[in-house]
Chain A
Amino acid sequence: MRDTHRLMGFISRGFKGRRRDTASSSRLPPGQYLVNDFPVLSAGPTPRANLDQWTFSIEGEIDEPKRWTWKELLALPSDTVTKDIHCVTKWSKFDTTWKGVSVATLLEGVETGAEYVTVFCDGGYTTNLPLEDIMDGKAWVAYEFDGQPLHPEHGGPARLLVPHLYFWKSAKWVRGIRLENEQHPGFWESNGYHLYGDPWREQRYWGD
């Protein structure tokens, strides 16, 4: 068994693995490994949204809070983007394709002095981000994955997508964004996980 493994490893490295390994390692942040499936992580029961009553809100440090119904959200201009995603539990998945509304579109015309946001969700989950990390085409409210409506176990009807940060920031079952003057640590950020969560700097835990 041991010899077989060694032999297979040798063959794979020698004849066909090298180029692909190099290409993927440059796309793989430190400490991560590549998966082809899409693991489901969940900190609680999966909420089942009633789309007739579903809304997405922008509130907090804003003169006139904004709110969209599900139909209104779908009517907004959308993007289809293909991104690599990186979970803090160490799996990464390349070339995931999402459709959704850019947060920049939702924030159009919003005047705020806020520098931070708390993203809030059905089920009570929250996560914190600097406002600039969800501006300028860096984040989306995604409602399709791989051409299909986003499944509830992956955060449907809609989740935040912030692919440049660890995936716990891409909050499932998202319902809105609260603009804030100060940073308020979210569900995981208040209990050991890093406030910012850059996978390329391996900011997993407090003190990283």
Chain B
Amino acid sequence: MQTSEMKLDGNAIAGLLGEIFAVEMTSAQGTCASCGAVNEVGRVDVYIHAPGTVVRCPDCEQVLMRIVRGRGRYWLDLTGVRCLELAED
């Protein structure tokens, strides 16, 4: 197989992403990109009285996620989460 044939486009992960984002997320384990603490998504700090939803690490208070909803769209920033560990359904 040539190298050029090994590179696919994003449609190749449609099924994989569909499996991942369909699972129950509150039991997922998230690693904070800032301090490295691992916390269950259901146990992190959440601020909803804001222009969007802000999710913070309960250990260091840094932002894990920002979620904005408007005009029929979502904007999701996960740069504060280094890794999400999810159980298969």
Interface, chain A (partner B; CB < 8 A): 39-45, 88-89, 124, 168, 187-188, 190-193, 204-208
Contacts and interface: CB of A to CB of B under 8 A. Distances in A.
Nearest to A123: B61
Nearest to B49: A41
B62 interface: yes
Given A41-B51, A204-B71, 9 more contacts: A40-B49, A43-B47, A43-B52, A89-B51, A187-B66, A188-B66, A191-B52, A193-B52, A193-B68
Contact of A42 (B49, B61, B68, B73): B49
Contacts of A208: 71
Interface residues of B, number: 18
Given A42-B47, A43-B50, A204 B75 contact: no
B70 interface: yes
B77 A190 contact: yes
6 contacts: A41-B50, A42-B50, A43-B52, A44-B63, A45-B56, A191-B76
B68 A192 contact: yes
Given A44-B47, A88-B51, A192 B75 contact: yes
A44 B54 contact: yes
Given A191-B66, A192-B75, A43 B61 contact: no
A79 B62 CA distance: 35
B50 A192 contact: no
A176 B74 CA distance: 31
Interface of B: 47, 49-52, 54, 56, 61-63, 66, 68, 70-71, 73, 75-77
Contacts of A193: 51-52, 68
Nearest to A47: B61
A207 B71 contact: yes
A25 B62 CA distance: 40
B61 A44 contact: yes
A193 B67 CA distance: 11
A41 B73 CA distance: 22
Contacts of B62: 124
A41 B49 CA distance: 5
Contacts of B73: 192, 205
B75 A191 contact: yes
B49 A192 contact: no
A205 B49 contact: no
A185 to B, nearest CB: 11
Contact of B51 (A188, A190, A206): A188
B77 A188 contact: no
